[in-house]
C-alpha cells in the first residue's frame, strides 16, 4: 500500500465503527462515518496527547458530547495507540468491556468524561475550559506555561437543541474561554429524520450573538477546510470558537448516507458490502492495514510532547518548588496537611459559639474557613448569591479579566452550572460547588446523576430546603426533591440541624470522593446542646441527640434539619408526661446506612417498635427506618404561601402533632406486643 492518505485514515475509523456496530447489532454508525474526516484532521495534526499516558496533565482534552457516536472515539483511541486493542473493539457494547454503549469515564483509557445525555458533554467541556484558564492563571509563570492546552468538543444537532447548550455557551462567550474549540456536526439529521421540521436555528448567528468566534458552514469532508478552520480557532485567543461543519451522516454508504437510517442501527451485511465496494476498502472486518496503523500511531509523538513538557516541569519545580508541589497536591486531589486541624478547629468553634442561625448562614461561615484553607475550592451560585450564602470573605470573582478569581456567577443556569461543575471536577485541581434553591435541583437532576455515575467530588449547595422558606410558596418549597435525591446511587446528602452539623456536613462533602448535596434552611434553627462526645458521632450520619430514658425508650423520634428542634421540644414535653423518648438526629441517611449493624442497632434498636420519623418532605423514604409499627410525619402535599410558622402549622408539622402521634404509636405498639404475648402463652 502506498503512503496512507487522509481518506485512508478516516476510512479506518469508518470501518471499525461499521463493523463493531454490526457485530454488536447495536450502536450508531452514522455519526462516526460523517465526522471521520473532521476527527482525522484534529487528531492527526493538532491534538496534543500521549496515548501511553492518558493522564498527562497538559494534554488537550477531547470531549465527544454526541456520545452515541462513541465508536468514533474508540476507533481513534485504538488507532492512535491507547491501551485499547482490536479485541476490545470487537467487544463493543458487551458486558464489562472497555467499549461500552456510550463513553464512560474509567472504562476506556482516554475517555475524559461520560457522555450520551446530549448537551452535557458540551457543559463538561466549558467546565474544563474554565478550569484550564483558572489553573493557568494560578500556576503559570513567565516562560513556564505549565498549563496551556485546548479543549476540543464535538457536538451534534441534538446537543445544540438541548437547552443546556444555550446555558453553557452563553456563559463561555461571556467568560471569553479562548481555549475551547467546538465542532458542530451539521448533518441535518436526528432520529426522527430531517431536522428542518424542528430545528432551523441559524447556529452561526446564534453563537455570534454569544460572543463566540464562528467559522460558518465549512465542508466537513474537506480536510483542508477543517485544517484552516482549526488554525483560525487557535488564533481567536479571546473567544471560544465553533466550527460549523456541513457533513453527511453515514458518509460512504451508497444507499443510506444522508438518512436517519444510519443514525442508530447496524447497516446490515448487504449495505456494508456496498460501502466496502464504494470506498474501495477490501479488508475483512476488523482488519486495518499495518501502514494505516503506522500512520495513525501517535505514541512516539505523544511521548516526545510529554517529555518536552516534563523537562519544563522539572525546571519549574526547581524554580518554584512550592508552587509545583501545590499543583501536584491539587491535581492528585489530596487535601493539605493542615486540613484535619483546620476542620476540627472550626467544629469546636461552632460548638462553643452556640449560635442559632439559619444553616445557610452557618454554611457561609464554613466557607469562610474552608475556602481560606483550600484554594482548590471554587464555586458560586446560579444568581442567588445572597440567598444561598455562597460568597465568602475575601473571595474574588472569576472573569475573563481576572481568571484567578474563584467565585463563579453561573447566572440563572442550574443545569448548565451542574454540568460545568462536573467538567471542573473531571479536570482535577478544583473542588467545585454551586448553589441554588433545593426545589430547582430538578432542573439540574441529570447532571447530578452524571456526577454520581462518574463519582466526582462536586458539592451541590441547596438552600431553602423546605416549606420553612415561607412566603415564596409552593413553587419554591421543595417536597419530593429530598427523597428523590436519596434514590440516586452514589450520591450523599446532608441536611444538618444547626451550625455544628453544618460544619460536619461540609467537611464530609470535601473529604468525599463523590458528589454531595448539602441542604440548608432559609430560616433560623436553634442550636442543639450536645456533649463533646456526641460531636464525633455526627459524622456517622445519625446519632442519639437526646435520650430521656435510663433504659429502653418508649419511642424514638427520628428527624432531620429543621424538624430536629420540633422533635426535641416534643420529647421534653412528653417527658413531663412520663413518656420517655429518644431523639435521633439523622443529617445523612446514606452515611448512617453505611455504619456497622451494631451501631445502627444501638441508635435505632429493633426492640423499640414505636419509631416516628419527622421530616418536611415526601414521606415514602422513611418506612425502612420506622418499620411496620412506626409512624411518619411528613409532607405528602404541596406547601403554601405564608409565613413559615403558618405553613408548618397548616401542614401539620407541629410539636402538638408529634406528641399525639407518638402517644398513639406507643399505644398501638404496646397493644400489638400484648397480643403477641397472649398468643404465645396460649400456644
Ligand atoms: C438528553 C438526551 N435526550 C435524548 C437522547 C436520545 N438520542 C440519542 S441521539 C439523539 C438525536 C440524534 O440526532 P443528532 O444529535 O443530530 O445526532 P446524529 O443523528 O447526527 O448522530 C437522541 C434524541 C439522548 N441521548 N440524550
Per-residue pLDDT of 28-56, as tens digits, reads 999 999 999 999 999 999 999 999 999 99
Look at residue 1 and tell me if it is in a domain.
no
Q: Are residues 493 and 568 in the same domain?
A: no
Cβ count near 215 (within 10 Å) = 24
Write down the pLDDT at residue 341.
Answer: 97
Distance separating alpha carbons of residues 387 and 368, to the nearest angstrom = 16
Nearest residue (CA) to ligand 1, atom 18: 190
Express each pLDDT in 167-207 by its tens digit. 999 999 999 999 999 999 999 999 999 999 999 999 999 99
Set of cell numbers at residue 161: 437543541
Yes or no: say if 152 and 446 are a contact pair by the CB < 8 Å rule.
no
- Quick one: 134 and 280 in the same domain? yes
Ligand 1 centroid to 657 CA: how many Å?
Answer: 50
| pLDDT band per the 50, 70, 90 thresholds, residue 364 | very high
635 falls in which pLDDT band (50, 70, 90)? very high
Same domain, 266 and 357: no
294 lies in some domain: yes
Task: Write down the residue that cell numbers 483546620 correspond to.
Answer: 342
Nearest CA to ligand 1 atom 15: 158
- Number of Cα atoms under 13 Å in the Cβ half of residue 318: 5
Q: What pLDDT is stored for residue 672 in this prediction?
A: 77
Residue 390 belongs to what domain range? 339-519
Which residue among 104, 112, 414, 563 is the active-site one? 414
- 429: alpha, beta or left? (left if phi > 0; alpha if psi -120 to 50): left
Q: pLDDT at position 678, please?
A: 78
What percentage of residues in the chain have a pLDDT greater than 70? Answer: 100
Q: Which of 71, 153, 161, 190 to mutate to test the pocket of ligand 1 (most atoms within 8 A of CB)?
A: 190
Mutate which of 102, 191, 267, 444 to test ligand 1's pocket (most atoms within 8 Å of Cβ)?
191
Q: Output the CA torsion sign for 483, 485, 487, 493.
A: negative
Q: CB within 6 Å of ligand 1 — which residues?
A: 30-31, 66, 68-69, 116-118, 156-158, 162, 185, 187, 189-191, 249, 263
Distance from residue 84's CA to the centre of ligand 1 (Å): 26
In a domain, 16, yes or no: yes
**Per the domain annotation, does 475 fall within a domain?**
yes
Q: Which atom of ligand 1 is nearest to the CA of 119?
A: 1
Closest alpha carbon to 615 in 478, 490, 504, 451: 478
With respect to residue 79, please indicate whether it lies within any of the assigned structural domains: yes
Distance from the CA of 372 to the center of ligand 1, in angstroms? 43
pLDDT tens-digit profile of 196-236?
A: 999 999 999 999 999 999 999 999 999 999 999 999 999 99
Question: Could you report the per-residue pLDDT of 307-340, keeping only the tens digit for each?
Answer: 999 999 999 999 999 999 999 999 999 999 999 9
The total number of structural domains in the chain stands at 3
Q: Compute the distance between CA of residue 242 and CA of residue 481 in angstroms, rounded to an integer.
A: 36
Q: For residue 625, which of 596, 604, 597, 641 has the smallest C-alpha distance?
A: 604
Query: Quick one: DSSP state of residue 527?
Result: P
Q: Which of 56, 28, 46 is nearest to 112 (CA)?
A: 56
Beta-strand runs (E) in 109-212: 151-156, 180-186, 189-190, 193-194
Distance 263 CA to ligand 1 centre (A): 9
The closest-lying atom of ligand 1 relative to the alpha carbon of residue 187 is 20
Q: Is residue 313 part of a domain?
A: no
CA 165 to centroid of ligand 1, rounded, Å: 13
> Last residue of some domain: 248, 276, 303?
303
224 is catalytic: no
Same domain as 567, residue 627: yes
Q: Judging by beta carbons within 10 Å of its beta carbon (0-12, 13-18, 19+), is residue 33 exposed, middle or buried?
A: buried
The mean per-residue pLDDT over the stretch 555-575 comes to 98
User: Partners of 63 in the beta sheet?
Assistant: 153
502 and 599 together in one domain: no
C-alpha cell at 382: 446560579
pLDDT over 90 at 358, yes or no:
yes
Does some domain include residue 533? no
Asked if residue 136 and residue 217 are part of one domain, the reply reads yes
Distance 190 CA to ligand 1 centre (A): 6
CATH of the domain at 588: 3.40.50.920
- Residue to probe by mutation, ligand 1, list 21, 120, 158, 195, most atoms within 8 Å of CB: 158
Residue 139 Cα distances to 131, 144, 297, 509, angstroms: 12, 9, 32, 26
Is the same domain home to 260 and 138?
yes
Of the three residues 475, 491, 519, the one that is the final residue of a domain is: 519
Tell me, yes or no, whether 208 and 294 share the same domain.
Answer: yes
Residue 310 lies in a domain: no
Pocket residue to mutate for ligand 1, from 28, 73, 118, 450, most atoms within 8 A of Cβ: 118
Atom 19 of ligand 1, nearest CA residue: 190
Closest CA to 592 of 516, 500, 511, 493: 493
**Cα–Cα distance, 427 to 196 (Å, whole number):** 36
β-partners of residue 611 are: 556
Cβ burial 294-325 (10 Å sphere, 16+ → b, else e): ebbebeebbbebbeebeeebeebbeebeebbe
CA 67 to ligand 1: nearest atom: 25
Please say if the pLDDT value at position 78 is more than 80: yes
* Residue 197 DSSP symbol: G
Distance CA 589, CA 601 (A): 14
Instruction: Give CA 682 to chain center in angstroms.
Output: 59
pLDDT tens column, 248-266 = 999 999 999 999 999 999 9
Q: Do 161 and 65 meet the contact criterion of CB atoms below 8 Å apart?
A: no
Measure Cα distances from 67 to 43, 112, 163, 397, 680 in Å: 17, 12, 17, 33, 62
261: CA distance to ligand 1 center in Å? 13
Distance 114 CA to ligand 1 centre (A): 15
- How is the chain split among helix, strand and coil, in percent rounded to 5? 50, 15, 40
- In the numeric block, the cell 496537611 is attached to 337
- Which is the closest atom of ligand 1 to the Cα of 157? 16
> Using 50, 70 and 90 to split pLDDT, how confident is the model at 434?
very high
Express each pLDDT in 655-680 by its tens digit. Answer: 999 999 999 999 998 887 777 777 77
Do 561 and 662 belong together in one domain? yes
Q: Give the DSSP letter of residue 153.
A: E
The least confident of 63-67, 277-281, 550-554, 650-654 is 550-554
- Report whether 617 contacts 638 (CB < 8 A): no
The 8 Å CB, 24+ separation contacts for 546-550 are 546/571, 546/582, 546/583, 547/582, 547/583, 548/572, 548/574, 548/575, 548/580, 548/581, 548/582, 549/580, 549/581, 549/582
Q: Is 119 helix (H, G, I), strand (E, B) or coil?
A: coil
Mean pLDDT of the chain: 97
Ligand 1 atom showing the smallest separation from residue 34 Cα: 20
pLDDT score, position 424: 98
Buried/exposed code over 480-501 (b: 16+ C-beta within 10 A; e: otherwise) = bbbbbbbebeebbbbbbbbbbb
- Among the candidates 245, 280, 303, a domain finishes at 303
- Are residues 143 and 76 both part of a single domain? yes
290 and 208, same domain (yes or no): yes
Give the Cα-Cα-Cα angle 251, 255, 260 (nearest 5 degrees). Answer: 65
Please state, in angstroms and rounded to a whole number, the distance separating the CA atoms of residues 639 and 479. 8
Residue 240 shares a structural domain with residue 94: yes
- CATH number at 211 reads 3.40.50.970
Q: Please identify, by atom number, the ligand 1 atom nearest to the C-alpha of residue 249.
A: 20
Q: How far apart are CA 308 and CA 488, in angstroms?
A: 44
pLDDT at 146 over 80: yes
Bridge partners of 189, per DSSP, are 194
pLDDT at residue number 433: 98
Closest residue by CA, ligand 1 atom 8: 68
pLDDT band at 548 (very low <50, low <70, confident <90, very high): confident
Amino acid at each position: 500500500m502506498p503512503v496512507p492518505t487522509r481518506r485512508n485514515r478516516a476510512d479506518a475509523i469508518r470501518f471499525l465503527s461499521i463493523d463493531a456496530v454490526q457485530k454488536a447489532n447495536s450502536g450508531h454508525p452514522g455519526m462516526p462515518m460523517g465526522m471521520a474526516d473532521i476527527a482525522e484532521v484534529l487528531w492527526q495534526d493538532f491534538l496534543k496527547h500521549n496515548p501511553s499516558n492518558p493522564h498527562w496533565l497538559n494534554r488537550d482534552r477531547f470531549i465527544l458530547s454526541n456520545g452515541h457516536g462513541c465508536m468514533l472515539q474508540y476507533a481513534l483511541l485504538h488507532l492512535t495507540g491507547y491501551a485499547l486493542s482490536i479485541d476490545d473493539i470487537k467487544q463493543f457494547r458487551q458486558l464489562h468491556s472497555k467499549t461500552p454503549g456510550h463513553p464512560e469515564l474509567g472504562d476506556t483509557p482516554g475517555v475524559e468524561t461520560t457522555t450520551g445525555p446530549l448537551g452535557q458533554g458540551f457543559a463538561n467541556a466549558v467546565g474544563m475550559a474554565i478550569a484550564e484558564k483558572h489553573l493557568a492563571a494560578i500556576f503559570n509563570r513567565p516562560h513556564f506555561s505549565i498549563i496551556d492546552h485546548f479543549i476540543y468538543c464535538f457536538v451534534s444537532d441534538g446537543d445544540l437543541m438541548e437547552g443546556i447548550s444555550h446555558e453553557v455557551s452563553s456563559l463561555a462567550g461571556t467568560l471569553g474561554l479562548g481555549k475551547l474549540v467546538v465542532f458542530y456536526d451539521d448533518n441535518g439529521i436526528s432520529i426522527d429524520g430531517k431536522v428542518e421540521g424542528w430545528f432551523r436555528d441559524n447556529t452561526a448567528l446564534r453563537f455570534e450573538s454569544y460572543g463566540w468566534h464562528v467559522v460558518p458552514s465549512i465542508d466537513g469532508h474537506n480536510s483542508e477546510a477543517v485544517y484552516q478552520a482549526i488554525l483560525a480557532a487557535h488564533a481567536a485567543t479571546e473567544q471560544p470558537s465553533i466550527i460549523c461543519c456541513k457533513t453527511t451522516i453515514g458518509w460512504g454508504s451508497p444507499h443510506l448516507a444522508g438518512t436517519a437510517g444510519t443514525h442508530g442501527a447496524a447497516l446490515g451485511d448487504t449495505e456494508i458490502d456496498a460501502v466496502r465496494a464504494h470506498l474501495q476498502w477490501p479488508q475483512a472486518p476488523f482488519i486495518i492495514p499495518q501502514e494505516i496503523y503506522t500512520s495513525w500511531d501517535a505514541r512516539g509523538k505523544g511521548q516526545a510532547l510529554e517529555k518536552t513538557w516534563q523537562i519544563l516541569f522539572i525546571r519549574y519545580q526547581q524554580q518554584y518548588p512550592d508552587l509545583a508541589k501545590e499543583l501536584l497536591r491539587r491535581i492528585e486531589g489530596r487535601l493539605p496537611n493542615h486540613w484535619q486541624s483546620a476542620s476540627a478547629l472550626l467544629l469546636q468553634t461552632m460548638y462553643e459559639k452556640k449560635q442559632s442561625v439559619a444553616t445557610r448562614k452557618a454554611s457561609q461561615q464554613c466557607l469562610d474557613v474552608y475556602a481560606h484553607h483550600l484554594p482548590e475550592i471554587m464555586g458560586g451560585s446560579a444568581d442567588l448569591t445572597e440567598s444561598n450564602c455562597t460568597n465568602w470573605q475575601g473571595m474574588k470573582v472569576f472573569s475573563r479579566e481576572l481568571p484567578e478569581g474563584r467565585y463563579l456567577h453561573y447566572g440563572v443556569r442550574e443545569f448548565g452550572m451542574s454540568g460545568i461543575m462536573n467538567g471542573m471536577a473531571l479536570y482535577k485541581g478544583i473542588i467545585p460547588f454551586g448553589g441554588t434553591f433545593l426545589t430547582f435541583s430538578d432542573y439540574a437532576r441529570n447532571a447530578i446523576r452524571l456526577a454520581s455515575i462518574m463519582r466526582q467530588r462536586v458539592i451541590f449547595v441547596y438552600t431553602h430546603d423546605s416549606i420553612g422558606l415561607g412566603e415564596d410558596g409552593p413553587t419554591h418549597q421543595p417536597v419530593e426533591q429530598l427523597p428523590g435525591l436519596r434514590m440516586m446511587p452514589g450520591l450523599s446528602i446532608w441536611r444538618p440541624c444547626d451550625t455544628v452539623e453544618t460544619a460536619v456536613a461540609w467537611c464530609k462533602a470535601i473529604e468525599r470522593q463523590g458528589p454531595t448535596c448539602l441542604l440548608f434552611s432559609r430560616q433560623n434553627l436553634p442550636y442543639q446542646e450536645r456533649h463533646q462526645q456526641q460531636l464525633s458521632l455526627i459524622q456517622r450520619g445519625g446519632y442519639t441527640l437526646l435520650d430521656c430514658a435510663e433504659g429502653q425508650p418508649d419511642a424514638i423520634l427520628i428527624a432531620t434539619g429543621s424538624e430536629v428542634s420540633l422533635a426535641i421540644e416534643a420529647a421534653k414535653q412528653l417527658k413531663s408526661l412520663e413518656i420517655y423518648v429518644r431523639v435521633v438526629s439523622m443529617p445523612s441517611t446514606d452515611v448512617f446506612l453505611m455504619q456497622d449493624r451494631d451501631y445502627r442497632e444501638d441508635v435505632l434498636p429493633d426492640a423499640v417498635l414505636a419509631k416516628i420519623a419527622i421530616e418536611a418532605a415526601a414521606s415514602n423514604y422513611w418506612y425502612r427506618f420506622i418499620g411496620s409499627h412506626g409512624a411518619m410525619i411528613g409532607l405528602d402535599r404541596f406547601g403554601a404561601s405564608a409565613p413559615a410558622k403558618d405553613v408548618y402549622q397548616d401542614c401539620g408539622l407541629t410539636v402538638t402533632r408529634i406528641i399525639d402521634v407518638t402517644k398513639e404509636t406507643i399505644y398501638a405498639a404496646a397493644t400489638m406486643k400484648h397480643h403477641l404475648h397472649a398468643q404465645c402463652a396460649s400456644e
